[in-house]
Amino acid sequence: MKIEVTSHKLFGYRATLRTAKQLATPAVKLVNRSVPGSMPDVQITLTNPRGMAELATLAEVELAGGGVDKRVKDREERQAAREGRDVAGRAVPLADGSVLVLINVDQNQSPGEFAITLVHELVHAMQFSRKGVRERIIRDRRHCFNIERQSRRQARENERCHDEEEREAYSREYLADQIVPGARAA
């Protein structure tokens, strides 16, 4: 399990990057101990909403196998940018088996908020290592990029599993209090 913390299109956030590097290792160890699954290699990237959309879309295109029409890719990136303004973080599985965790610095103003977001997204990283999850995500991304259709049953199953995974991630946010005391109280 390798952890890498970087920034993308951010200037003047050196202190935030330093804080992220300090919190990343204990967060990964804590989530790895308390959530079923195995922690893959994790690349944590601090960025803004536009950078989140750009990096997530590139990772998802690669995950879907490439060969995506530029118009479809641009449409997905615009939709991700709209959603990204209100999102604190996002975890995306990568084609090589690792996970890209994108953190929106505009939504995470304090170390406590950052710790909560980081724990939430690392729980998703653990979920990606479970049996069948990665294949389901690839199938859904291929459907979104108009490469391969999925049935309505598969789409409903994906939505149901996604909701369960979100509930699990929210239920584990209490772990952030062990990294930054009082994180959830703020």
Question: Which residues contact residue 123 at a Cβ distance below 8 angstroms, ignoring those fewer than 6 apart?
Answer: 31, 35, 168, 169, 172
Q: Give the per-residue pLDDT at 120.
A: 97
7: which strand partners?
A: 46
The residues spanned by each domain of the chain are 3-179
**Under 8 Å between Cβ of 41 and 2:** yes
Q: Give the per-residue pLDDT at 84.
A: 81
Question: Which residues contact residue 177 at a Cβ distance below 8 angstroms, ignoring those fewer than 6 apart?
Answer: 183, 184
Max distance between CA atoms of the chain, in angstroms, equals 47
All residue ranges of the chain with pLDDT < 70 are: 186
Q: Give the per-residue pLDDT at 164.
A: 97
The size of the chain, in residues, is 186
| pTM (2 d.p.) | 0.93
Helical H segments across 13-110, by residue range? 14-34, 49-64, 70-84
